[in-house]
Amino acid sequence: MEKQELKHFEQNELRTFGRRHGKKLSMRKTWLMDNLLPKLAPKADEYGKNPMILEIGFGNGEHLRELAINNSNSIVIGAEPFANGVAALLSAITTESDNTLIPEYKNIRIFPDDVRLLLKNDGFKNVKFAQIWVLHPDPWPKAKHEKRRLLNHDFLNLLSSKLYRDGKIIIGTDHWEYYDWIVEQLKQTNLQIKSTSLDIIKTRYQIKNKAGTTEPKYLILDNI
Ligand SMILES: C[S@@+](CC[C@H](N)C(=O)[O-])C[C@H]1O[C@@H](n2cnc3c(N)ncnc32)[C@H](O)[C@@H]1O
């Protein structure tokens, strides 16, 4: 992305995530970030040859790895701006002995930044996805932060335009107030709720259950 474009994005889009960096990375993770990560950049020219799946805010990547294994004919792109999460995923998909990619994860691509930069990138303009996953998006529970919520109607409309025929968006959150807010936002989109029933997907954040609710709620959406 051109510097000019990046500046424009930063001036016009509110940040939807918390930290970009946590504790210092180990030598192995630093090596993986410098040497392997660039090789796993999403490539628009892979589109058309394989179905595409996107996971937004993959955290440490537990669910992204499952997606890669269960959809071996698809390209699975993960977007995550938190460097320690990206490094944790890189560590989990490589062998400790020689840092090579474990073959069952060869369909993983990583965009280590705000997913909106990827989706609004000219090179990715025509790419459509069969599945788009958003598990436990940052809930921004304080009223003054509500505008930082990623799943507002503008963003949902962007995702809707990126869905392949019969494609689905799967959202999960344990923050029930955010869930109801998303359902309200849907009224200003071309998306409809196809189902709300899904077996609980265990991710790091789901296990932490910061919202203190009894279970996560899910939304499976498709275009009207
Ligand atoms: C609460 S965590 C959940 C992580 C993971 N999905 C899980 O369930 O364990 C939300 C994640 O979304 C990421 N995130 C927030 N805004 C994002 C954006 N615009 N693009 C990509 N990722 C984003 C954050 O960095 C954070 O890691």
In three-state form (DSSP H/G/I as H, E/B as E, the rest C), the secondary structure along the chain is CCHHHHHHHHHHCCCCCCCCCCCCCCHHHHHHHHHCHHHHCCCHHHECCECEEEEECCCCCHHHHHHHHHCCCCEEEEECCCHHHHHHHHHHCECCCCCCECHHHCCEEEECCCHHHHHCCHHHCCCCEEEEEEECCCCCCCHHHHHHCCCCHHHHHHHHHCEEEEEEEEEEECCHHHHHHHHHHHHHCCEEEEECCCCCCCCHHHHHCCCCCCCCEEEEEEEC
Query: Which residues, listed in sequence order, are joined to residue 219 by a DSSP beta bridge?
Result: 171
CA of 46 to the centre of ligand 1 (A): 25
**Among 13, 54, 58, residue to substitute to test ligand 1 (most atoms within 8 Å of Cβ):** 58
Nearest to 113 by CA among 17, 206, 39: 17
> Which residue, by CA, sits nearest to atom 13 of ligand 1?
57
CA of 84 to the centre of ligand 1 (A): 12
The CATH code of domain 43-223 reads: 3.40.50.150
Query: Can you give the pLDDT at residue 85?
Result: 98
* Domain coordinates in residue numbering, the chain: 43-223
* pLDDT for res 10: 79
Give the pLDDT of residue 9. 80
Does residue 47 or residue 54 have the better pLDDT? Answer: 54
- Per residue in 159-202, pLDDT (tens digit) is 999 999 999 999 999 999 999 999 999 999 999 999 999 998 99
| 138 noted as active-site residue | yes
* pTM (2 d.p.): 0.96
pLDDT band at 1 (very low <50, low <70, confident <90, very high): low
